[in-house]
Amino acid sequence: QHAHELLIKGGTVVNAHHKEVADVYVEDGIIASIGPNIVQVGDEVNIIDATGKYVMPGGIDPHTHLEMDFMETATIDDFFTGQAAALAGGTTMHIDFVIPINGDLSAGFESYVSKAKKSVMDYGFHMAITKWDEAVSKDMEVMVKEHGINSFKFFMAYKGALMINDELLLHGLERCKSLGALAMVHAENGDAVAEGQKRMIDLGITGPEGHALSRPPILEAEATARAIRLAGFVNTPLYVVHVMSIDAMEEIAKAKKSGQRVIGEPVVSGLVLDDSWLWHPDFTTAAKYVMSPPIRKAGHGEVLKAALSAGILQLVGTDHCTFNSTQKALGFDDFRKIPNGVNGIEERMHLIWDTMVETGLISVTDYVRITSTECARIFNIYPQKGAILEGSDADLIILNPNASFRVTSASHHSRSDTNVYEGRTGKGKVEVTISRGRVVWEDDTLKVTPGLGRYIKMKPFSYLFDGIEKADAAYLASLSAPVQRSRASS
């Protein structure tokens, strides 16, 4: 299909700040105009009728792991299958985590550039920091200034592997601040997790349920509270990935109330699932729910959804990180060896719509905010992404609120042979997905071309950094220090 022009007629066009019935005209992958009754310009314009449907910015998934080497294996979805799944579910961009190679950021970056060559939609990169030395510190600057990375993630868990201690975290936070890059944390107390794992094994609890039992919410809350306070001490914004528990959310809520800039990212599995699956007698079934931090007991999800509706938590990710059942089986005798991760990149948009919009928790504009706009603003690519405004990229979806969806591994687009949402149905269906002006999903059919996905560079100093310097200056001015003193005195 060739058409460079596209006209979407009669839908309710939704932005995070407003919704209205309007037409949307797209030219060369860019939104050219929005308004009532746009008249068709040329012959080749592809016209889509969206009457009675919502035209929204495509979803942006802030948290994915495609083709990642992890726990002696690699995630089974790569930049082709993972993105294909995304598009089929209404997500038109994702931000993946570059993992350094032996701590080397540049090597890691090159590796991901290569992995991403087969991309079928736009994507960006975060980068993990897994050790600390001068080279790492310098490479961070290179990543920010040359390679379009504006966020770095620190692991407070995975002892002996990715985990960093408080001293390094402090250095990392300070470095991020000076570069205008957003610090992200995987927040669990890794020392205690290791103790908890040992405790379970000692108790003979070696199955998937041991995974949840070994790292309870208290350990997530601890690390979340610690990261928040250290970021507050440094005065730099913080992004907490995969907020899974009420306990962690409460820490974020408290910090935000005091004016601190903390972003909390729940993931869809934490919002709509509970940990009872981990007790399933069938190992394959139980193991597919193993991720870290663990999916929590029933009740956490509802509270997280409320916090999300209120803006206490700000956007929804997936932590899409898939392993098939053969891979999961590596941990049959020891849950510590089950590769951690669940799917979600294809299901996120549908599940959030069904459990939050259809239940009245949030408005349609809120939906756009938490699935797309907020992510674009945080990672400083708004309004290129995350909006339906003139000049924005034409990453769009058309959602029919009266249609319904059904999830099953038989029909999903991930390469995984299982799906943690197996059998789930709900209201609302992404009927059309448009990636930079091209219709890539329609009539339940994908039309994608490897290599057409672009890497989106993300500039530092997003809105989260506005005023940080002024606040620092005001702080210094408030100290009434140093006090002048002479040695001779009473």
- Residue 267's DSSP bridge partners are 317
User: Using the rule CB under 5 A, is 429 a contact of Zn ion?
Assistant: no
Shortest spacing between CB 284 and a copy of itself, in angstroms: 4
Q: Give the largest CA-CA distance in the chain.
A: 93
Residue from 10, 74, 285, 424 in contact with a copy of itself (CB under 8 A)? 285
Looking at 165-173, 180-188, 251-259, 420-428, which segment touches Zn ion (CB under 5 A)? 180-188
Residue from 124, 210, 264, 341 in contact with a copy of itself (CB under 8 A)? 210
Shortest spacing between CB 390 and a copy of itself, in angstroms: 8
Question: Judged by CB, which is closer to Zn ion: 16, or 193?
Answer: 193
Q: Tell me, by CB under 5 A, how many residues bind Zn ion.
A: 2
User: Using the rule CB under 5 A, is 186 a contact of Zn ion?
Assistant: yes
- Say which residues have a Cβ less than 8 Å from residue 310's Cβ, sequence separation at least 6: none
Cα 280 from Cα 216, distance rounded (Å): 19
Residue 260: Cβ within 10 Å count:
16
User: Using the rule CB under 8 A, is 236 a contact of a copy of itself?
Assistant: no
Cα 277 from Cα 286, distance rounded (Å): 6
Shortest spacing between CB 158 and a copy of itself, in angstroms: 14
Side chain identity, residue 385: K
User: Using the rule CB under 8 A, is 37 a contact of a copy of itself?
Assistant: no
Looking at 78-86, 184-192, 366-374, 390-398, which segment touches Zn ion (CB under 5 A)? 184-192
Binding-site partner at residue 479 among a copy of itself, Zn ion, none, CB < 5 to 8 Å by type: a copy of itself
End-to-end C-alpha distance for the chain, whole angstroms: 89
Residue from 42, 160, 204, 423 in contact with a copy of itself (CB under 8 A)? 204
Cα 191 from Cα 198, distance rounded (Å): 11
Residues in contact with Zn ion, shown as a per-residue x/- string from 301 to 330 under the rule CB under 5 A: ------------------x-----------
Cα 294 from Cα 261, distance rounded (Å): 25
Binding-site partner at residue 206 among Zn ion, a copy of itself, none, CB < 5 to 8 Å by type: a copy of itself
Strands 59-64 and 30-35: unpaired
Side chain identity, residue 225: A
Footprint on residues 143-182 left by a copy of itself (CB under 8 A): 165-167, 170
CA angle 7, 10, 16 (to 5 degrees): 90
Shortest spacing between CB 188 and a copy of itself, in angstroms: 11
Cα 297 from Cα 276, distance rounded (Å): 7
DSSP H/E element including 284: helix 283-287
User: Using the rule CB under 5 A, is 77 a contact of Zn ion?
Assistant: no
Looking at 45-53, 141-149, 355-363, 450-458, which segment touches a copy of itself (CB under 8 A)? 355-363
Phi, psi of 180 (to 5 degrees): 75, 25
Residue from 8, 93, 315, 387 in contact with a copy of itself (CB under 8 A)? 387
User: Using the rule CB under 8 A, is 3 a contact of a copy of itself?
Assistant: no
Q: How far is CA 356 from CA 28, 268, 352, 371, in A?
A: 34, 11, 6, 12
DSSP H/E element including 194: helix 190-202
DSSP 295: P
Shortest spacing between CB 52 and a copy of itself, in angstroms: 17
Question: Judged by CB, which is closer to Zn ion: 319, or 347?
Answer: 319
Handedness of CA 133, 379, 143, 96 (dihedral sign): positive
Looking at 78-86, 91-99, 196-204, 405-413, which segment touches a copy of itself (CB under 8 A)? 196-204
- Residue 74's DSSP bridge partners are 69
Phi, psi of 174 (to 5 degrees): -65, -40
Cα 221 from Cα 23, distance rounded (Å): 46
Binding-site partner at residue 383 among Zn ion, a copy of itself, none, CB < 5 to 8 Å by type: a copy of itself
Is residue 446 within 8 Å of 461, Cβ to Cβ?
no
Footprint on residues 11-30 left by a copy of itself (CB under 8 A): 15-18
Binding-site partner at residue 236 among a copy of itself, Zn ion, none, CB < 5 to 8 Å by type: none
Binding-site partner at residue 319 among a copy of itself, Zn ion, none, CB < 5 to 8 Å by type: Zn ion
Residue from 28, 146, 422, 466 in contact with a copy of itself (CB under 8 A)? 466
Q: Is the peptide bond before 36 cis (omega within 30 degrees of 0)?
A: no
Shortest spacing between CB 257 and a copy of itself, in angstroms: 5
Residue from 30, 206, 452, 455 in contact with a copy of itself (CB under 8 A)? 206
Which spans of this chain sit near Zn ion (rule: CB under 5 A)? 186, 319
